């Protein structure tokens, strides 16, 4: 998505809508996180040497649940603002993340992709009440139940638990 500074300066403000390719198919072959095409809609406003892009980024991201490993897709919608400067950036502009536009235009696709990557969930869940996998047998507890004993035993007291289980088996 290339923004032409000259075109934006002529019109003052103009609107756009475009599709951007996802940043990459997959981050890691073992990771199920997958990006779908990105819809980028917004307005560009240029006033002399400073420009502003206000836009909405919408896409879908496919994740693997961090508890049960089920694959699911979630919609992502972000509102972003990109500030641009035609002149070399001042210290204040650098601190406020202005984009320097030395030529006639700037390609915003890498910045849009970066915003989408930063919006990824760190530990995605298929639902808030996901029960995850059984730590003993590995069954997905959202789809089937199991009778495994998952009572946590403090490792410091594990030998004591064995002692009591042995004494229960012996007749008095």
The top-scoring range by mean pLDDT among 3-12, 49-58, 95-104 is 49-58
Q: Is 96 helix (H, G, I), strand (E, B) or coil?
A: coil
Instruction: Name every residue whose Cβ is closer than 8 Å to that of residue 6 and which is 6 or more positions away in sequence.
Output: 104, 105
| Phi, psi (deg, nearest 5) at residue 73 | -120, 140
* Greatest C-alpha distance within the chain: 97
Q: What percent of the chain has pLDDT over 90?
A: 23
pLDDT at 97: 81
- CA distance linking residue 68 with residue 107, whole number of Å: 39
pLDDT at 12: 81
Percentage, residues of the chain above pLDDT 70: 91
How many other β-carbons are positioned within 10 Å of the β-carbon of residue 56?
13
Residue-wise pLDDT for 117-131, tens only, equals 888 888 999 999 999
Cut 0.85: pTM above it: no
Q: What is the pLDDT of residues 88-146, one digit of tens each?
A: 878 887 777 888 887 877 888 888 888 888 888 889 999 999 999 988 888 999 999 88
């Amino acid at each position: 998505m290339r923004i032409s500074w000259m075109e934006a300066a002529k019109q003052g403000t103009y609107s756009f809508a475009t599709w951007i390719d996802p940043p990459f198919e997959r981050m890691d072959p073992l990771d199920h996180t997958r990006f779908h095409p990105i819809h980028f809609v917004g307005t560009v406003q240029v006033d002399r040497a400073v420009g502003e892009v206000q836009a909405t980024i919408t896409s879908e991201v496919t994740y693997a649940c961090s508890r049960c490993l089920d694959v699911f897709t979630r919609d992502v919608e972000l509102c972003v603002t990109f500030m641009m400067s035609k002149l070399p950036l001042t210290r204040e502009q650098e601190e406020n993340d202005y984009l320097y536009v030395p030529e006639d235009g700037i390609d915003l696709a890498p910045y849009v992709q970066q915003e989408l990557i930063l919006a990824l969930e760190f530990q995605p869940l298929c639902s808030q009440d996901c029960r995850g996998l059984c730590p003993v047998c590995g069954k997905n507890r959202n789809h089937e139940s199991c009778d495994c004993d998952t009572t946590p035993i403090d490792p410091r007291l594990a030998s004591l638990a064995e002692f009591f289980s042995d004494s229960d088996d012996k007749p008095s």
